[in-house]
Chains A and B, each alone.
Chain A
């Protein structure tokens, strides 16, 4: 079947999309005009943006060059993720955006929204003011109301009403999308030689930059290509690989995934905003769509940004490690990300009490020492004993 794209080709496409984040969406916009509405990662109801007819667009740290551009407006002890996106915006790198939605998940996001509005406003600037506890019934009713507010604002801006039917269609599309990516994730766990960490995470990130329908087609193709190759190949080339769980906010800068790949470390589960947290769970397709979106948000995997004593992160992480047969945990932390900082010591201790080794890696966008991190990860992989996990 020579007309089928190969794994390499599709993965290269994902990579290209990320390398020029706004390119595809601008082309599409030229063909089929509609506003482009950006969002910061990733606790936002993208389905609502989609149902309003706008193009959703995820702002991650695409270019570390611009981090310092934010310095005149934001202290350097804000995390580099916020500084980078904002810096890029100030530098005019996101001028194709018509709007931006900032989810309030921490003090930085809570404060940056108004600073942004002040200095580089897009036509549509909205906060998504999430409840920061997801334990109690009040969170659900408030969140449903907040989703209603955001919906009304989107309707006002786009001039299009978002009825239940439209929203349910969007939810359906997003559910399909998440299911496909979860499938891909699973395949990656089984065949890390065919689909690397970087391939997998690029697939997830690139989906924030182009319409989901389009992306679904690419992921479906990729899945069949991987499945076919897996059937055809003689033996697994998994020698020396070791399975780990990665926990943190985002996998930035992207070099980190290359380092994992080079060190033969396979990420089999994670709770990153731009990783599994983005695709972990779906919204129900029957019932009041705003309520189902609220429930989806509340039931996302535990994150340090939301108080969730019902499903504490300590217990969640330990369970994940065991479920996935991982050998250890990598804490992937952005410098100055305080929500992660608070959780870290007790998480580390809880893991070590459960005999799960862990290592903490701190990254900073625009300022990262590749060599040091690489050495750390390699040492950790060696300590975990390398390849015996996939059998010899």
Chain B
């Protein structure tokens, strides 16, 4: 991803991620269980249990960014998995069958821990992997939240966290350490706070940082959340951004517009999109996706507050809540237009966008589009169609 390479911290990020993968290998060697986890799940439990959390979604994103997701996916498709499943899942499953590993080998799990706050695809992918690798599987189940959240759902989630703790205790044959959990949660709080302060800088006009940069710098908040490493990294990044502000280095030179982007980037086209926007003096300033890691845990009631943070993720909210979340971001960042990504891989974020587009435009008066593509699979990407859509969009912006 060339977008942010000019950041000094880019080197640090590289080191940090190398260290992360190294730890995975080390865990393997030392016989420490590798736990597959999902992006929006209480990884704090895994760190507190002294286990190594491995993110197969991250593997998928990496393959997608390196433009090899469709290739790895073919190995899964040859086995009978279909090309309309989530692209990350196809990569994760495909790599296990593939002969070539262009982004390294996916690390096999000893335990699987998934949370369906994000989607049911993760639930199925992990279940399938659990069958494939014959490893114990725990699903942390998040019933959809129809505002306001109920006691019933919160209790269910807390009860499941207790069951999860038991699951890890059985695996480690050690009692769970709640003091350790408190430390991990405190570190997660700190990293999330820094991360969100960084994201907020995109609201400045002009801004030193935008969504495409955030996509690059988000790896540690996902993988290292709950450790000192993440805190250290975001301190550095924040310092660098402040420094850039002083020096008047901005993400999009001559920034004219700010844009809200819904959800995930099209990884293999990150560069393509960031250039397209830059050409029009537009900065994609905010997305609910990068803002997902905005957890704040109450150390006095750790499990309850984990339940709140993790069951109430945006993709687990009802229609109205999700519209409100989007429009509140649009307001906070004072955007001039919005882009909704109908991501073929991801039904829970894509279904409903057609109606949401018109409702949001009605409520905010902002121009907006929905475009079709896949976050990782270029077979579903039509340069021409997407460009046409965006041409109209930029015309609307300019006419405002």
- Which A residues have a C-beta under 8 Å from some C-beta of B? 72-75, 77-78, 104, 106-108, 110-112, 114-115, 117-119, 127, 129-133, 135-139, 141-142, 145-146, 149, 304-305, 307, 309, 312, 314, 336, 338-339, 341-346, 348, 360
Contacts and interface: CB of A to CB of B under 8 A. Distances in A.
Given A118-B355, A307-B139, A314 B131 contact: yes
B354 A133 contact: no
A39 to B, nearest CB: 17
B152 A142 contact: yes
A150 to B, nearest CB: 11
B143 interface: yes
A130 B80 CA distance: 29
B144 interface: yes
B329 interface: no
Size bracket, chain B contacts:
35 or more
Given A78-B347, A132-B141, A341-B84, A115 B159 contact: no
A131 B350 contact: no
B88 to A, nearest CB: 13
Contacts of A110: 120, 144, 348
B216 interface: no
Interface string B105-146: 000000000001001110111011011100001010101101
A78 B347 CA distance: 8
Given A117-B319, A133-B141, A141-B156, 14 more contacts: A73-B354, A75-B350, A107-B121, A107-B348, A110-B144, A129-B143, A132-B116, A132-B139, A138-B160, A142-B143, A142-B156, A339-B124, A341-B85, A343-B128
B127 A111 contact: no
23 contacts: A74-B354, A104-B144, A107-B348, A107-B351, A110-B144, A111-B348, A111-B351, A114-B319, A114-B352, A118-B355, A119-B355, A127-B144, A127-B146, A129-B144, A132-B141, A136-B160, A141-B159, A142-B143, A304-B124, A339-B124, A341-B82, A342-B128, A346-B131
A307 B127 contact: yes
B131 A118 contact: no
A84 B346 CA distance: 21
A104 B319 contact: no
- Identify which of A312, A314, A341 gathers the most chain B CB atoms within 10 Å of its CB: A341
Nearest to B354: A73
A341 B342 CA distance: 21
B152 A115 contact: no
Interface in B43-90: 79-82, 84-86, 89
Contacts of B319: 114-115, 117-118
Smallest CB-CB A-B distances: 7 pairs: A114-B319, A111-B351, A345-B80, A142-B156, A342-B124, A107-B347, A138-B159
A119 B319 CA distance: 12
A119 B352 CA distance: 11
B79 A112 contact: no
A111 B347 contact: yes
Given A73-B355, A75-B351, A119-B355, A339 B120 contact: yes
Contact of A307 (B137, B144, B155, B372): B137
A132 B159 contact: no
Contacts of B204: none
Interface in B288-334: 318-320
B352 A111 contact: yes
Nearest to B160: A138
B269 interface: no
Interface of B: 79-82, 84-86, 89, 116, 119-121, 123-125, 127-128, 130-132, 137, 139, 141, 143-144, 146, 150, 152-153, 155-156, 159-160, 163, 318-320, 342, 344, 347-348, 350-352, 354-355, 372
Contacts of A141: 155-156, 159
B143 A131 contact: yes
Given A104-B143, A138-B159, A341-B82, A115 B351 contact: yes
Given A138-B160, A145-B152, A348-B80, A132 B128 contact: no
A104 to B, nearest CB: 6
Nearest to A117: B319
A346 B125 CA distance: 12
A341 B86 CA distance: 11
A77 B344 contact: yes
Nearest to A118: B355
A272 to B, nearest CB: 19
Contacts of B163: 136-138
A348 B155 CA distance: 38
A12 B399 CA distance: 64
Nearest to B320: A114
Contacts of A145: 152, 155-156
B79 A345 contact: yes
Contacts of A129: 143-144
A115 to B, nearest CB: 5
B124 A131 contact: no
Given A77-B344, A339-B124, A72 B354 contact: yes
Residue from the set A73, A130, A348 with the largest chain B CB neighbour count within 10 Å: A73
Nearest to A114: B319
Nearest to A335: B84
A146 B347 contact: no
Given A78-B347, A112-B351, A341-B84, A132 B152 contact: no
A81 to B, nearest CB: 14
B120 A107 contact: yes
Contacts of A112: 351
Contacts of B128: 342-343, 346
B183 to A, nearest CB: 27
A119 B350 CA distance: 17
A360 B82 CA distance: 13
A104 B320 CA distance: 18
Nearest to A71: B354
Contacts of B342: 75
B121 A338 contact: yes
A307 B121 contact: no
A315 to B, nearest CB: 11
Contacts of B352: 111, 114-115
A106 B351 CA distance: 12
B156 A338 contact: no
Contact of B84 (A138, A338, A345, A348): A338
Contacts of B125: 342
A321 B394 CA distance: 59
A74 B319 CA distance: 14
Nearest to B344: A77
B380 to A, nearest CB: 10
